[in-house]
């Protein structure tokens, strides 16, 4: 079988890169996802090459050809070539000497099958000759791709022992490429070794889980994980009821024509409790922005504030999350498509000029003015805003204790 032609193969600088790496002599091939996704007719963003040339030789060849070479992962045999402003990873053929579930000690080889055998799933182990287009499939990946089946290369327990993250990757790849029942041997192995996830950094767990949740239809895979207690060692808060909420959320996203968001979907899996969400955000070491959004999404929506007011109080994204996770008509989110935050044109200085003494009273009064202005529909006219301010200040100044 031959690799179909695709635009990425004609990327600017690709021909010079391949020539520098002895493609005509069979020293370098396309590998991994770019081959798989091209076979599936999917867009390709990342291009990876494998080569028999050692890393230092790769650097020398690239520099001689005038191609920028960045030693991004020399410990693992990887050099990044920059062509047309875009990176292409070039990795020397490898074999594992030892592994501990998080990292591997490698040695170089010139055996293509041995290198392919290091990969996790059969559909990730393809290589293709850039000249002839011939696809090399050592482990039945083409048949699995045709059957929409995700299967480990060799013994799943051995592959998981090599890299514990493969447990989560299995479910992500099943959600993306699989159809029908998950591979039973793989599923049993993931369940048996679920406790291995505790050895991984929380950042790696979060990255893989959010990638899964970003896919169009992750609920079935998440349901399998909950059913087989895969997530319990690291996220015991996620239960079957969370999968039901995720299903409902995805249906509401589709109804509203809103793209799925992984943080919003993570919130659906969790109890509607801001304290729990904050704890999980810290556990997964989410960014400040993602943590804020997760906590806001876990706060139940009272349904009293309109979409504009909700967006003003929480932020646009948080308002969309709140509506979709709540009970209101999901179509309300469309009113926020072009939303921009309204601006109150009255400040503390205006209140002082109107007669208030500087101090805490100014801040409290400004908050009261802002609350009336926002709940009244965000009056844009500055004179009307000032009228609200004069009324509040006048009421304060007319009280005996205010003087």
Residue 247 lies in a domain: no
Tally of structural domains, the chain: 4
Residue 309 lies in a domain: yes
Name the residue with tokens 């009821």: 241
The number of residues in the chain equals 403
- 31 and 130 co-located in one domain: yes
Residue 246 lies in a domain: no
What is the reported pLDDT for 98?
Answer: 61
Which domain-ending residue is among 122, 147, 172?
147
What is the reported pLDDT for 100?
Answer: 63
**Which residues make Cβ contacts (< 8 Å) with residue 244, sequence separation at least 6?**
none
State how beta strands 68-73 and 47-51 pair.
unpaired
How far apart CA 299 and CA 108 sit, in angstroms, is: 52
How far apart CA 4 and CA 236 sit, in angstroms, is: 44
Residue 253 lies in a domain: no
pLDDT by position in tens, the chain (length 403): 999 999 999 999 999 999 999 999 999 999 999 999 999 999 999 999 999 999 999 999 999 999 999 998 888 899 999 999 999 999 999 987 766 656 667 789 999 999 999 999 999 999 999 999 999 999 999 999 999 999 999 999 999 999 999 999 999 999 999 999 999 999 999 999 999 999 999 999 999 999 999 999 999 999 999 999 999 999 999 999 999 999 999 999 999 999 999 999 999 999 999 999 999 999 999 999 999 999 999 998 877 789 999 999 999 999 999 999 999 999 999 999 999 999 999 999 999 999 999 999 999 999 999 999 999 999 999 999 999 999 999 999 987 654 4
With contact defined as beta carbons under 8 Å apart, do 62 and 20 qualify?
yes
- 36 and 133 co-located in one domain: yes
Name the residue with tokens 């060799």: 154
Which domain-ending residue is among 147, 163, 190?
147
Residue 248 lies in a domain: no
- 139 and 24 co-located in one domain: yes
- 212 and 73 co-located in one domain: no
What is the reported pLDDT for 195?
Answer: 97
| Structural domain range at position 184 | 149-236
- 135 and 4 co-located in one domain: yes
Residue 244 lies in a domain: no
- 55 and 142 co-located in one domain: yes
Residue 204 lies in a domain: yes
Q: Tell me how many helices (H) and strands (E) the chain has.
A: 19, 9
Residue 57 lies in a domain: yes
What is the reported pLDDT for 216?
Answer: 96
Per-residue exposure over 390-400, b if at least 16 CB sit within 10 Å of its own CB, e if not: eebbeebeeee
Enumerate long-range contacts of 15-19, CB under 8 Å, 24 or more apart.
16/65, 16/66, 16/67, 16/83, 17/49, 17/62, 17/65, 17/67, 17/81, 17/83, 17/88, 18/130, 19/65
Indicate if the alpha-carbon torsion angle 90, 93, 95, 97 is positive or negative. Answer: negative
- 306 and 365 co-located in one domain: no
What is the reported pLDDT for 320?
Answer: 97
How far apart CA 162 and CA 9 sit, in angstroms, is: 32
Domain of 3, CATH number, reads: 3.30.460.10
How far apart CA 158 and CA 36 sit, in angstroms, is: 23
Domain of 173, CATH number, reads: 1.10.3090.10
Enumerate long-range contacts of 44-48, CB under 8 Å, 24 or more apart.
44/6, 44/8, 46/89, 47/8, 47/11, 47/14, 47/88, 47/89, 48/88, 48/89, 48/90, 48/91
């Amino acid at each position: 079988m031959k690799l179909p032609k695709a635009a990425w193969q004609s990327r600017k600088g690709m021909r010079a890169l391949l020539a520098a790496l002895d493609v005509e002599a069979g020293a370098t091939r396309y590998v991994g996802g770019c081959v798989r996704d091209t076979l599936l007719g999917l867009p390709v963003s990342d291009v990876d090459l494998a080569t028999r040339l050692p890393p230092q030789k790769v650097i020398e060849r690239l520099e001689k050809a005038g191609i920028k070479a960045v030693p991004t992962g020399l410990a693992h045999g990887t050099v990044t070539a920059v062509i047309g402003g875009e990176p292409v990873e070039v990795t020397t053929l490898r074999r594992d000497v030892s592994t501990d579930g998080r990292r591997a000690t490698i040695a170089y080889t010139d055996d293509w099958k041995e290198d392919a055998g290091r990969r996790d799933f059969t559909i990730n182990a393809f290589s293709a000759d850039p000249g002839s287009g011939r696809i090399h499939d050592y482990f039945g990946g083409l048949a699995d791709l045709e059957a929409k089946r995700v299967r480990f290369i060799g013994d799943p327990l051995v592959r998981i022992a090599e890299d514990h993250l493969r447990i989560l990757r299995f479910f992500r790849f099943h959600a993306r490429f699989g159809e029908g029942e998950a591979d039973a041997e793989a599923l049993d192995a993931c369940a048996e070794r679920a406790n291995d996830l505790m050895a991984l950094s929380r950042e790696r767990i979060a990255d893989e889980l959010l990638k899964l949740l970003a896919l169009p239809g992750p609920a079935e895979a998440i349901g399998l994980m909950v059913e087989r207690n895969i997530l319990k060692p690291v996220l015991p808060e996620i239960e079957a009821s969370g999968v039901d909420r995720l299903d409902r959320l995805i249906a509401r996203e589709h109804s509203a024509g809103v793209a799925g968001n992984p943080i919003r979907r993570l919130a659906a899996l969790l109890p509607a409790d801001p304290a729990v969400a904050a704890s999980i955000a810290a556990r997964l070491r989410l960014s400040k922005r993602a943590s804020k959004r997760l906590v806001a999404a876990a706060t139940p929506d009272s349904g009293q504030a309109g979409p504009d007011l909700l967006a003003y109080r929480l932020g646009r994204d948080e308002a969309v999350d709140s509506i979709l996770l709540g009970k209101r008509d999901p179509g309300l989110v469309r009113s926020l498509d072009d939303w921009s935050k309204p601006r109150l044109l009255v400040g503390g200085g205006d209140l002082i000029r109107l007669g208030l003494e500087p101090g805490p009273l100014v801040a409290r009064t400004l908050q009261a003015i802002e609350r009336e202005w926002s709940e009244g529909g965000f009056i844009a006219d500055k004179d009307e805003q000032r009228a609200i301010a004069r009324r509040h200040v006048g009421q304060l100044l007319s009280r005996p204790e205010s003087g």
